[in-house]
Structure 1
Amino acid sequence: MNTILNGDEENEKYFCLEMKKLICSGKSQEAIQIICNFMSKHPNSAIPHNLLGIIYEKKCNHILAMKHFRAAWCLDPTYFPAQENISNFSSFEPMHRFFYEESDRSKSEQKYEIKYDSRHIGHVVEKNKFM
């Protein structure tokens, strides 16, 4: 995958879709390498940790998967896919388990965002409905 991501939402969805294709086609090792490369360029992004969590859950490494889901959630408390995966995989109901990643989310589901003040401190705020 040669796409360079610049933080734009459409590129993030494209990245997630491409990783989903690799993971579903059984090329998880290749996906891990690309995700780690993405992570090195975007160390504060929740997306690569969520994707790694999905890969490790598929590989039946539940503990490592949950660590990555929690890391994603810590990096961005408003990142809905990580919240959903933590909820789904910490449940005792295995029939309700499903993987959730950025390309599954519609723009209308995004209720909160992080706004930075003049001192560069992030605050979780509700998105304006008229954006």
Structure 2
Amino acid sequence: MKNLEEECKKLIACHEYRKCENKIKEAMFQDPHSAIPHNLMGILMEKEKNHVQAMKHFRASYALDPTYIPARYNMEQYGSMNFVVECAYSEKDCQIQKDSQFKEVYDAHNVRHLIRK
């Protein structure tokens, strides 16, 4: 799935939205319990100016895997009143250390979460 993140990033940058959507749908079919395709579909929906559907996919991604930081990051960014246009295709795109509005916390099960300060 890691290659899917990079491939979708390139396709979206080139505005090849239908091709990207087909790849994401195929990934959802192959692994319906993965958070990655839903996060990518959320990004694609935002790029197509479909904010409601994007937020649904970000929430689905987070529900499938609460430890998947990009889903939480995107929900926070696009759910705020003054969101930035930077989205997280993968964890390396999450600017946790540089973003002063978030902090990392670990729960009793040693699961990492992003919390708004």
Give the TM-score taking structure 2 as reference length: 0.77
CA distance in 2, matches of 1:30, 1:124: 39
Q: CA deviation digits over 1:29-81, x for unaligned, max 9?
A: 11100110011010000000000000000111000000000000000000000
Structure showing greater radius of gyration is: 1
Q: CA deviation digits over 1:65-119, x for unaligned, max 9?
A: 000000000000000000000000011113x34211116358xx9987xxxxxxx
TM superposition shift of 1:126: 4.0
The unaligned stretches of length 5 or more in structure 2 are 98-103, 113-117
- Of 27, 34, 40, 2:23 maps to 34
CA distance in 2, matches of 1:50, 1:124: 24
The unaligned stretches of length 5 or more in structure 1 are 1-11, 113-122
Given the superposition, is the C-alpha separation of residues 103 and 27 from structure 1 closer, same or farther in structure 2, using an over 3 Å criterion?
farther
Given the superposition, is the C-alpha separation of residues 75 and 124 from structure 1 closer, same or farther in structure 2, using an over 3 Å criterion?
farther
* Residue of structure 2 equivalent to 1:102: 90
Contact 1:16 1:103 in 2 (8 A): no
1:17 maps onto 2:6 in alignment = yes
Give the TM-score taking structure 1 as reference length: 0.70
CA distance in 2, matches of 1:124, 1:32: 35
* Residue of structure 2 equivalent to 1:116: none
Which 4+ stretches in 1 moved above 4 angstroms? Answer: 109-112
* Residue of structure 2 equivalent to 1:86: 75
How high is the sequence identity, in percent, across the aligned residues?
38
- Of 107, 110, 113, 1:125 maps to 110
**Number of matched residues?**
103
* Residue of structure 2 equivalent to 1:4: none
CA distance in 2, matches of 1:84, 1:14: 20
Partner SS, residue 125 of structure 1: coil
